[in-house]
Every structure is written in C-alpha cells, then in structure tokens.
Amino acid sequence: MSDRPKIPRQESLMMPLVRNPFVHKLDLTVGDKIRIAICTVTLFPIRLILILMFLLIAWLLALVALLGIKDELKEPLSGWRRKLLIPITHLTALGFKSCGYAVVVKGQRSTVARAPLLAIAPHSSFFDAIPFPITLGMPSPVAKTEIGDIPLFRTLVRILQPVFVSRNDPNSRQNTIKEIKRRAQSGGKWPQVIIFPEGTCTNRSCLISFKGGAFYPGVAVQPVVLRYLTVPDTVTWTWEGPGAYKVLWLTLCNLNNKLEVEFLPVYKPSEEEIKDPKLFARNVRAVMAEALNVPVTDHTYEDTRLMLQATKTGLPLSAGLVEFQKIRTKLGVTFDSVGNLLDKYAEIAKSDSDEGIDLEDFARYLDLPVSPALKEMFQLYDRDGTGKIDFREYIIGCSLLTQPANSEETIQLAFQMFDEGDKGYISQQELTQILHNAFGMTDTDVAKLFHNIDQEDSGKITYEQFKSYAEKKPEYAMLFKTYQQMNAVKEATNEQQQQGDKVKAE
C-alpha cells in the first residue's frame, strides 16, 4: 500500500546505541569474594569506625557554627562561623580518605570570580561527594531536599548553605534557578555553587540530558569530570544494581580506591547560549563527553520514573526507558500522557513477555481477529521490523498515528460508515456486516465487541457511546482509516485493470 501513513523514521527518533544507563551489574571473581570475606572482618570495621569518628566531630563543629540560626541562610557565613568551616572541611576530608580513596587532580580549578558555577559529571554514586572537601574546599551544592532528612548529614549539608531542590514542589524549579542566579551574580560574595546537571545517578556509560538549572543564569561554568578507576566497580549506585549499603560495604572492603578529578577549561557562554540555556547545557555536555570519551543520550530523570512505573505494572524496568526528553521534544507529549500510555501498553502486553507486544497481543486487546488491515496498522507501529512493538514504538505510534486519526471528524465519519440511514445509532447487524467484511470477525466476536460498547444493553450504540469507546482505544480510528485506504487502493487498482482490459479488447 503506497500511500499509507508513515511514522517518520529519521535518526532523531531512533533508539540510542548505548546500554541502559540506569542499570549496574557487578561481576565479582572468586578472588574478589575471598578478599571481601577477609576484609569484612578486618579492614571494613576499622574504616567504618574512622569514618564515623571524623564525621561525628565535623558534625559537632557544624552544630556549633549553626547555633542561633533556625531559618534558611540568606547570606553567606561570616566571622567565626566561617572560620569553623576550615576544620570541618579537613575532618570531612579525613572521613572520606578513611574509605581508602586516593584522589588524583588534573587541571586547574577556577576562582569563583571567573566561574561561579561548577558542573560535575557523570553522577554515579554518593561517593561523588568525595571531591567536596578534598579538592573543592566545600562549595555550596544544589541538593535534593531529601538529604535534609538524614540526621547526621542534615547539619553537615546545611553548613554548606546548599540550594535545596524538591522534585515534588512545582515551584521548586523556578525558585532554584532564581537562587542559583542570585548567588552566581553576587560578584564572588558567595562560594562557588556545585551542581550535578544530570540530576540522577547513572552507570557512567554515557552522559544523559543535563538539567537547565546551572545554565539559566548565563554565567561562566567550569566543567569537572569524575573517573573512578577502582576495579571491580563497587562504586556505582543507580536504579538497578547493588543498593547503598552494599556499595558502601564492598567499597570499604577494597584494598584501595582511586578517583580522578579533572577540571576542564572554563566555559563562557555565547550570546546565543545565554538566550538558549538548553543549547548552553548541550554544548557543555558535549565538551565533558569528549573529555570522558563517552556518548550522550537524551535520557532524563523522567525515564527512571517511567521505569519504576513499569515495574508496578509487571513490566521489566527497561520497558520505561524511552529517552523521554527526546520523545517530548519531537512529539510534544507530557509525562502524564506517556505514563497513561505505559499503563495501556502494560494492559496490552499482559506482562506475558519482556520483549514487547506482538500482532496476536494487539489483536486480542482490540477484540479483533488478525486481518490484512490489522497487519498493515501493526507494521506502522513496528518501526524496527522485529514483529514486536516496544513501549517507545507504542508512544510514537499513538502520538503520530492514532491521536491525529482519533479526531472528532474521524470518529464521526467512522460512525456514519456503520450507521445506515443516518438513524443516530448503530445496530448489532450493521456492526456485524462491516466488521465481518473488513476484518473477518465472527458473529460471536462482534457480539462481544458490541456489548463492550453498549454499556447500557440497549441493543444499539449511540454516537456518544461510540465516541467514548473510540477515545479509550484510539487504534480503532486508525484501523478504519487504514481499511478505507486499502479499499481505495484496491478500487484504484481494479479500475486501472478494467481500463487496461478495455484497451486490450479494443
């Protein structure tokens, strides 16, 4: 069928050629397991005691520095409070060094006057805080509000005067941007603000999308890249893999751990980048990816939310991995709409397979037999020709095919196709006649579908009932359009053949 609707297959909508950045599989050799067993009863408890001792003393000093301060700090610390930051920094550094870390520094850290912001990537572990006291002199971080709920760390983080951001507060993003901008443009009054622009932890196989917070102020940024050189990789803490306590235990059981921190040249935004923070973020990410020699992808924190939603529906984590940022940019979909599509996708898949929806699943969901029209429509979704529709393909198909097709006009035309005589309703006989001709449905199958639409058991389907059902399953509107186009092509072919036969006869 030459004129069927096609989903654009341009490179911008293709899946990235990288592994899932939110999964970390830790492979331990027999030698690793023997070492861990020995260190668990020898090295691990010593290191843990030292860490707690240094952090506890630092916490007590931070508590003293914050005496009399109840509200969020609006001005930078000064006087004796600021002087207490020096021993707090050293004690925190000793605590991290007790983990067995040797930190190698490359490049030159910029002054706050030249670069008010430090952007660090990749973000892959809670150990990413190690550079704070050892190489960065305790700058002010942009941190999740949840960190403030951890008893010991709440005070240690608060002494750094962080910019707290909440993922649950709709106003938090704008407030965070305003605060970063205020500090960045204070002329060096505030310490440097440090931010992990990816916004969530990955396995360091790529750099995911950078959040715009560090780039909206339009001031110079110094990129900082982290390289963990410990083998095996016990450091990575992401959405699927070793949990926080296991990461801490295994890392403390390593004989030595090595972290490389490289300060890249300060990145000063152009006029175009100042006007377009997203462009600014992409360009800084490109510089950092080149230094790390890793690819970039359009995955975001929203992908992890979809992954967690996928598991709740019985699907594997990877089902929700769709590069949401790219999908949203190209198709204009919202997170809520994609979340609703994930629930529908799970309903079709019935959790029977981790590989996606096949033609039989699709037919079962639509209460239809497999027919040429259904195959034609299925192929529009199946972008890679595997015979399976994954969740990403389903989003694209629903956005580019069924949503435009499921307009008021299309639904009205489909209803009129069934409603002989413009009575204002569809009888079961009328529904049977067309569905039998179009899709080869049996009387039993049509009766089941008719009952699903006719919720009032009135023996007839009104336009409102038809519309309500069509909106729940927009694939029907597209299916009828596909069927009509197939018929149009068939009729055109028959007409050409008849004209050809007529010419031959003459």
Please give the DSSP secondary-structure letter assigned to residue 205: S
Of the pLDDT bands very low, low, confident and very high (cuts 50, 70, 90), residue 204 is very high
The mean pLDDT of 414-443, rounded to a whole number, is 78
Q: What is the largest CA-CA distance in the chain?
A: 108
H/E stretch holding 154 reads helix 151-158
Classify residue 131: in a domain, yes or no.
yes
DSSP 9-49: --GGGSPPSS--TTB------HHHHHHHHHHHHTHHHHHHH
Q: Are strands 193-195 and 140-144 parallel, antiparallel or unpaired?
A: parallel
Classify residue 424: in a domain, yes or no.
no
State the burial class of residue 504 (Cβ atoms within 10 Å of its Cβ: 0-12, 13-18, 19+): exposed
Domain range holding 63? 23-292
Classify residue 109: in a domain, yes or no.
yes
Please give the DSSP secondary-structure letter assigned to residue 402: I
Of the pLDDT bands very low, low, confident and very high (cuts 50, 70, 90), residue 417 is confident
Query: What pLDDT shows up at residue 4?
Result: 41
Indicate the SS3 state at residue 101: strand
Q: How far apart are CA 272 and CA 185, in angstroms?
A: 19
> In the predicted model, is pLDDT for residue 119 greater than 70?
yes
- What is the average pLDDT value for the chain, to the nearest integer? 83
H/E stretch holding 144 reads strand 140-144
Q: How far apart are CA 340 and CA 261, in angstroms?
A: 42
> In the predicted model, is pLDDT for residue 145 greater than 80?
no
Spatial neighbors of 123 by CB under 8 A, at least 6 apart, are 196, 198, 199, 200, 201, 202
* Token couple for 127: 């150990």
> In the predicted model, is pLDDT for residue 175 greater than 60?
yes
Classify residue 403: in a domain, yes or no.
no
Calculate helix-pair angle for 30-41, 244-252, nearest 10 degrees. Answer: 90
Least confident of 24-33, 236-245, 468-477: 468-477
Please give the DSSP secondary-structure letter assigned to residue 300: -
Classify residue 156: in a domain, yes or no.
yes
Residue position matching structure tokens 């034609």: 376
Give yes or no for a contact between 164 and 143, defined as CB atoms under 8 angstroms apart: yes
Of the pLDDT bands very low, low, confident and very high (cuts 50, 70, 90), residue 275 is very high
Classify residue 174: in a domain, yes or no.
yes
Give yes or no for a contact between 383 and 396, defined as CB atoms under 8 angstroms apart: yes
Phi, psi of 404 (to 5 degrees): -65, -35
Classify residue 332: in a domain, yes or no.
no
- 3-state SS record for 57-96: HHHHHHHHHCCCCCCCCCCCCCHHHHHCHHHHHHHHHHHH
> In the predicted model, is pLDDT for residue 31 greater than 90?
yes
Checking 403-412 for CB contacts under 8 A at 24+ apart, the result is: 403/474, 405/474, 405/477, 405/478, 405/481, 406/470, 406/471, 406/474, 406/477, 406/478, 407/477, 410/477, 410/480, 410/481, 411/466, 411/467, 411/470, 411/471, 411/477, 412/463
Of the pLDDT bands very low, low, confident and very high (cuts 50, 70, 90), residue 10 is very low
Of the pLDDT bands very low, low, confident and very high (cuts 50, 70, 90), residue 148 is low
Give yes or no for a contact between 164 and 197, defined as CB atoms under 8 angstroms apart: no
Report which of 483, 229, 269, 502 is spatially closest to residue 375, judged by C-alpha positions.
483
Give yes or no for a contact between 300 and 325, defined as CB atoms under 8 angstroms apart: yes
Classify residue 107: in a domain, yes or no.
yes
Query: What pLDDT shows up at residue 121?
Result: 95
Q: What is the pLDDT of residues 284-328, one digit of tens each?
A: 999 999 999 999 998 988 898 899 888 888 888 888 888 888 888
> In the predicted model, is pLDDT for residue 209 greater than 70?
yes
Phi, psi of 173 (to 5 degrees): -60, -50
Number of domains comprising the chain: 1
Query: What pLDDT shows up at residue 349?
Result: 82
The mean pLDDT of 399-419, rounded to a whole number, is 71
Q: What is the pLDDT of residues 325-380, one digit of tens each?
A: 888 887 888 888 888 889 888 888 864 555 688 888 888 888 778 877 788 778 87
Q: Are strands 460-462 and 425-427 parallel, antiparallel or unpaired?
A: antiparallel
- Across 127-131, 271-275, 299-303, which has the greatest mean pLDDT? 271-275
Indicate the SS3 state at residue 105: strand
The mean pLDDT of 418-447, rounded to a whole number, is 79
Give yes or no for a contact between 89 and 135, defined as CB atoms under 8 angstroms apart: no
Of the pLDDT bands very low, low, confident and very high (cuts 50, 70, 90), residue 487 is low
Regarding predicted confidence, which is higher, 289 or 470? 289
Amino acid at 338: V
